Amino acid sequence: MNWIILIIAGLFEVAFTFCLGKAKEATGNEAYAWYGGFLVACIISMSLLIKATQNLPLGTAYAVWTGIGAVGTVLLGIFVFKDPANFWRIFFIVTLIASIVGLKAVSAH
């Protein structure tokens, strides 16, 4: 269950970076709404990370959380914000995913 909580926390990390990206494109009240979404997603993400680390090794949990956030944010950038998707970016995303799976596989919990 802690791993599921950690994965959800990582997805909320992606959500708060998405909100930042949308806020950058918006103006006025729409930008403030996206910043509000950022704060809500950030609070949820951090709260779930705290909950997950109560029963998982801190270093592993933090690395997985940031890895999910990094991979999700890069993919969001490619598919939503039209960031470039060249061979090396995809290669390193795949190696990051392999590292996250490896950390989960060797974790004692």
Would you list the domain boundaries of the chain?
2-106
Rg of the chain in Å (alpha carbons): 15
Degrees to nearest 5, angle at CA 49 with 88 and 59: 65
E strands in 1-109: none
Max intra-chain CA distance, the chain: 48
pLDDT of residue 104: 83
pLDDT in tens, 8-65: 999 999 999 999 999 999 999 999 999 999 999 999 999 999 999 999 999 999 999 9
pLDDT of residue 108: 67
Lookup: tokens for 60: 């592993």
